Amino acid sequence: MEQQPQEYQHFVRIMNTDLDGKKSIKQGLTKIRGISIMYSNMVCHFAKVDKASKVGTLKVDEIERLNDVIQNPSKYNAPEWLFNRRKDPETGENKHVVSTDLKFNNENDLKLMKKIKSYKGIRHMLGLPVRGQNTRSKFRKNKGKVMGVKRSAAAKAK
């Protein structure tokens, strides 16, 4: 008994994200928040799906395999350096979070930094750059309005 080819789908839903059916699977998976090209390549390899084929031609079982690999990469012995949440502060395990879980975890991390008043947390609270950028000419925003350079009274008198 021969399987009939499944019809082309314009949108495929993977990990609660609609993917464009015209793009290749490797490119299409990167539209899911938290998945890079490298991670997408790894997912296609472990799910045994051709990464060059179009997203719209995926079958139901292939979509299920892709979802499983994305959710449980450690089950497939994926390299830990590809994960975006290594040594999670709460559980201590290595995992990869995607879509809304990623946003939720980032917000919780910021709240924790602010609560314990770490250097990064204080910089986030004050709306200043966190990663060591210069602040002399940039970041002079005051509640949405751009401020100019504040000159001293001596400089104005000249």
* Same structural domain, 74 and 107: no
157, amino acid identity:
A
pLDDT band at 4 (very low <50, low <70, confident <90, very high): very low
pLDDT band at 92 (very low <50, low <70, confident <90, very high): confident
Q: How far apart are CA 29 and CA 22, in angstroms?
A: 12
Looking at the whole model, is its pTM more than 0.85?
no
Instruction: Flag whether pLDDT at 90 surpasses 50.
Output: yes
* Average pLDDT value over all residues in the chain: 84
Q: Which helix (H) or strand (E) holds 17?
A: strand 17-20
* pLDDT for res 141: 64
* Residue 46 placed within a domain: yes
* pLDDT for res 40: 93
- As a whole number, mean pLDDT of residues 18-26 equals 89
* Residue 121 placed within a domain: yes
| Weakest-pLDDT range from 36-45, 84-93, 118-127, 141-150 | 141-150
Which of 80, 23, 76 lies closest to 52 in space, CA to CA? 23
* Residue 18 placed within a domain: yes
Instruction: Flag whether pLDDT at 140 surpasses 90.
Output: no
- Encoded tokens for 51: 């990464």
Domain span holding position 73: 11-82
* Residue 19 placed within a domain: yes
* pLDDT for res 146: 62
Q: Tell me the three state secondary structure of residue 18.
A: strand
Last residue of a domain, one of 82, 110, 125: 82
Q: Tell me the three state secondary structure of residue 74.
A: helix
* Residue 6 placed within a domain: no
* Same structural domain, 128 and 78: no
- As a whole number, mean pLDDT of residues 21-34 equals 90
* Same structural domain, 15 and 43: yes
Dihedral of alpha carbons 126, 132, 136, 140, sign: negative
Instruction: Flag whether pLDDT at 1 surpasses 70.
Output: no
- Encoded tokens for 90: 């709460």
